[in-house]
Chains A and B, each alone.
Chain A
């Protein structure tokens, strides 16, 4: 065993397959429209590249469909009924990945009820990816420990997201992040369509992954290969783009709003967007006095004006505003 970079890696890719979001993404009014067909062909090229990088590399693909998550491909499992026929022009492992993933995606998409669309089951896909990683990294009882420890691949997860934050999944996503930390799994996020998601930013930050907002969507494959193909141990030398600012906002428990100032129960740490008399989680009653005090201190919608600088003991010119625009990542 030489360097850490020599270890095989396990990549779990979570593909967000919300029909609505992909329809919107393909609209010609977007700066760089990206259709699901073009997305799939680029993603398959990326998956093939991962398998080709090292013989021992393993792969798992999970799909987040509306209200349901499905394992689309896993190196250890055969998920299609009949293996694809051999073809002289294609490398069998590539062919296997391509046909399994596309077949299963189209089978799932066909069963989707066009009527109403529940939000995508990203949390389910994420926890399944973690369970699968737990399964392959756990030294199983049957195999000897010595054998298991050397061949365990470095696990990481790549989330390809198109849906906005689902604030009701705040707690399960945070729980998934903490278990990823425990398993030493890096979570990378590529935001392909839609606004930045606060929770996935935190996921990437807390697991030392990269969060990349895809600006040039016509260059998806290049982003994928340059930023997400090298395993984390190699990225140190590559200067992979890292995220700029991280938003540490949370979702309130009462309305699932994403808040930057919240009211927190001192007993159970539940977050509320406004002062409440009783904690809905642990049924603690709060003293009336505290409520009145907080109601009066409640942040007005307009940003509070900072106190004049002269009042500060060590009056220094504040340059907070200047920090608001991030500089390009030069180090």
Chain B
């Protein structure tokens, strides 16, 4: 699959060139999607092609084996890792997001199956669950665009269950009328106006329409959003609209047009990881969120099992067994994270914080071992999983970043690892089995 860089619709490719580090790795993947998308454009309806899509991404070689494409995918992943900055990067951890769902008539289109609306709702639920997993201290509010108005669907909440509940009732969200971008954005802005300065403010719009019916000048709303450092990201389900592109460009957000179900999900889930803090990259004038840093006092509680003696909780005065004890005043609260109702201490469960630590201390990329000449004593099996290494180097085209011997060496402990472990260690475990850190 060759790189066609003249893709007519670039997604995030024409991003601000100053946004280094962030764009680089991703940009290498873009052209592929651009191609898949153009293919999609040739067909009248996405659903006609939805069964063939998955074959587009993987291709057999002359002998009919998939090995080549799989290795290619892995090489791509490896190169992306090598490009990523090795030092710790600043990420926004305390995030506030308002999810704006298009609930207008155009969402009943069936080009995404079963309908745009059903698919958007399903992905939105998956997005919320994943988002809270990676942004444990964040909050999400939900706003709908229906009948020319902005509708508050779910209040800002840090509890995934609350947000999911607001998205669970399909009947209540039944699409109707025209959407209004301005009304919805104004409402989202109102939801976030009270927030402390050290948190990010983001708006994510899932937009199915090609029109917006606004009461005033939406460019004024855009100006205000830039001023209050609200980042607007938009995923369009129909086609690109100039105002949508402008909203996301000027506020430092992302814009993308979903071409099919899988692409829609990709675009959505790209917004899950905490964004790199852009303070050092962009000037304050460009309006990206750069809240001042702060040191917060937090307490790590003790969890009581459901077999302990029942007692009243400090938050609801309910009689129950399980709960969390505030480490400062020993009051019992029902759920974390929360502020202690008695002493005001912010109580979080430490595993919540720990979920983001692999961003801070990434494992050094392993070096692909090109030949075994340099070391006489080399292990015969992977140091982590004991899978034996191939004795002879594989013949065939040597791809950059791929070891012909299937060996990848840790620069610190000098142990050799197999391809699968290399991927697993860097993408999942975030800890080198040889160094133990």
A interface residue numbers (CB < 8 A to B): 69, 71, 74, 76-77, 79, 121, 123-124, 127-128, 130-132, 134-135, 138, 141, 168-172, 174-179, 182-183, 202, 205-206, 242-250, 259-272, 275-276, 279, 281-282, 284-287, 290-291, 294, 297, 299, 303-304, 306-307, 312, 314, 316-323, 325-331
A-B contact pairs, 29 of them (CB 8 A): A127-B425, A127-B436, A131-B424, A168-B437, A172-B430, A172-B436, A172-B437, A242-B307, A245-B308, A248-B301, A249-B327, A250-B353, A260-B299, A262-B300, A264-B295, A264-B296, A264-B297, A264-B298, A268-B356, A269-B356, A281-B360, A284-B293, A304-B343, A306-B329, A307-B342, A318-B311, A320-B330, A322-B311, A327-B307
User: Do B308 and A290 have beta carbons less than 8 Å apart?
Assistant: no
- Contact A316 B386, beta carbon cutoff 8 Å: no
Q: Is the interface of B mostly helix, strand, loop or mixed?
A: loop
Q: Which of A183, A246, A314 has most B Cβ within 10 Å?
A: A246
CB <8 Å contact, B351 and A267: no
B332 interfacial by beta-carbon distance below 8 Å: yes
Per CB-CB distance, the 8 closest pairs between chain A and chain B, nearest first, are A250-B350, A131-B384, A174-B354, A260-B327, A124-B436, A284-B293, A135-B385, A127-B433
A304 nearest CB across to chain B (Å): 6
The stretch among B10-18, B85-93, B230-238 that forms the contact with chain A is B85-93
Contact, CB under 8 Å: B305 / A242: yes
Do A267 and B301 touch across chains, with their CB atoms under 8 A apart?
Answer: no
Q: How far is the CB of B138 from chain A (nearest CB, A)?
A: 12
The answer to whether A323 touches B351 (Cβ under 8 A) is no
Q: Is B281 an interface position by the 8 A CB rule?
A: no
- A131's partner among B291, B327, B356, B385 (CB-CB below 8 A) is B385
Interface residues, chain B, with chain A CB atoms under 8 Å away:
66-67, 70, 88, 90-94, 137, 198, 277, 291-305, 307-309, 311-312, 314, 317, 323-325, 327-332, 342-343, 345, 349-351, 353-361, 381-387, 420-421, 424-425, 428-437
Residue pair B198, A127 in contact (C-beta under 8 Å): no
Given known contacts A284-B293, A319-B312, A322-B309, A127 and B328 CB-to-CB distance under 8 angstroms: no
Q: Is the CB of B357 within 8 A of A124?
A: no
* Chain B residues near A321 (CB-CB < 8 A): 330
Q: Once the chains bind, are A134 and B421 in contact (CB under 8 Å)? A: yes
The reply to whether B420 and A134 form a contact with Cβ atoms under 8 Å apart is yes
| B305 CB contacts on chain A under 8 angstroms | 242-246, 326
A128 smallest CB distance to B (angstroms): 5
Q: Shortest beta-carbon distance, A275 to chain B, in Å?
A: 6
Among B66, B137, B293, B308, the residue within 8 A (CB) of A265 is: B293
Given A124-B434, A132-B384, A327-B307, answer yes or no on A275-B300 (Cβ-Cβ < 8 Å): no
Closest to A270 in B: B360
Nearest chain A residue, comparing its CB with the CB of B388: A77
| Beta-carbon contact of B294 and A286 below 8 Å | yes
Please tell me if the beta carbons of B429 and A127 are within 8 angstroms of each other in the complex. Answer: yes
Known: A127-B436, A130-B424. 16 other contacts (CB 8 A): A71-B386, A138-B420, A141-B67, A174-B355, A175-B357, A175-B431, A179-B430, A206-B351, A246-B302, A246-B303, A250-B300, A268-B93, A269-B137, A294-B295, A320-B311, A322-B309
Q: A124-B433, A261-B298 are in contact. Are A268 and B307 (CB under 8 A)?
A: no
What residues of chain A lie closer than 8 Å to B433, measured between beta carbons? 69, 124, 127-128, 131
Are A123 and B297 also in contact (CB < 8 A) when A247-B302, A323-B332, A327-B307 are? no
Do residues A141 and B66 form an inter-chain contact, with CB atoms below 8 A?
A: yes
Chain A residues near B349 (CB-CB < 8 A): 248
CB distance from B424 to the nearest CB of A (A): 5
A265 in contact with B325 given A132-B384, A132-B385 (CB within 8 Å): no
Return chain A residues, CB-CB under 8 Å to B431: 123, 127, 172, 175-176
Q: CB-nearest residue of chain B relative to A171?
A: B357
Q: Could you say which residues of chain B place their CB within 8 Å of the CB of A247?
A: 302
- Find B294's partner among A79, A176, A266 (CB 8 Å cutoff): A266
